[in-house]
Structure formats: structure tokens, C-alpha cells
Amino acid sequence: MRLRDEALHGELRMFTDRRIERHQLPYFLRVFNTVTDKPIGFLGNVSADGLMLISQLPMMVGVDFQLRLKIPSADGCQQVIDFNACCVWCHEDATPLHYDAGFNLLHPPVEFGQLVQALRQYFSFQSLPASA
């Protein structure tokens, strides 16, 4: 039995569509362990309730982590965002000796949502006013 192109396209779309929009970052923000304040990796992408961490070590799946972001600002200061997240998957990255790990945030702080919104606005295409 042969599937029609539309049916096949719909089946493929089902596997590639995301429930929550994800935003890729062109450079990486460092992610820290809140307890030790030592870096554990870099923020690969982010959504309102999750993130992908890129690390040189694999993360344990099913474990809750206490994480910290240090967001640089124009005046040279940093905004610190502490949050808890559960690792839900981990696999080798395309880059040798690196791993990608997906995290669900546990009760994300307001500041994390503000970061996601600021990144979404920064990386969105904004329409420019029409010229005269």
C-alpha cells in the first residue's frame, strides 16, 4: 500500500513539530552548578519551561539539578538566575567529547521567563516602519 504525499508529509510533521517553540542561540551562555558555582556547560537552546545544556560530561537522566545563569549586562554587572531543573534526556553531541542534555524546569522563577521573552524578542524579525 502506498501513502499519498500529503499523508506522508503529515506523518513526518507530527514527529518534527514541537509543542513549545524553541529558540537557538548564536553564542552560548555558561550554566553553573548553584551549589559549587562551577560551570557545568553552556545553554544550547531555551524555552519557557526547559533548556538544552551542552556539556563535556554526560548528565544523569531523572536527576534534579540546581542551576545558575549569569546574564551579562551592558554596564558590566551580571544578573544571576538560580533555578532547579530535571534532566530528562542526554546523548552525545555532534562535537566529539560533548553531550547534549534536555532539562525541564521545576517551578521556573519569573526572571527565567523574562530571559526567555528577552531572547525571543532579540532574535525575532521585527517589521520596520515603512519609509516615506
- 71: closest CA among 17, 107, 114, 36? 114
What is the residue-averaged pLDDT of the chain?
Answer: 79
Residue 55 CA to residue 46 CA, distance in Å, equals 15
Do residues 88 and 106 make contact, with C-beta atoms less than 8 angstroms apart? Answer: no
Given this model, what pLDDT does residue 6 score? Answer: 41
Of the two residues 94 and 4, the one the predictor is more confident about is: 94
| Mean pLDDT (whole number) for 13-28 | 50
pLDDT in tens, 74-124: 788 888 999 999 999 999 998 889 999 999 999 988 888 888 887 777 766
- Homologous superfamily, domain 21-122: predicted glycosyltransferase like domains (2.40.10.220)
Q: Which residue has the higher pLDDT, 19 or 83?
A: 83
Higher pLDDT, 93 or 15: 93
Percentage above 70 pLDDT, the chain = 71
Q: How many Å apart are CA 97 and CA 112, to the nearest integer?
A: 29
Query: pLDDT at residue 25 above 70?
Result: no
Higher pLDDT, 46 or 103: 103
For residue 29, name the pLDDT band (cuts at 50, 70, 90): confident
pTM over 0.75: no
For the residues 22-27, what does the mean pLDDT come to?
52
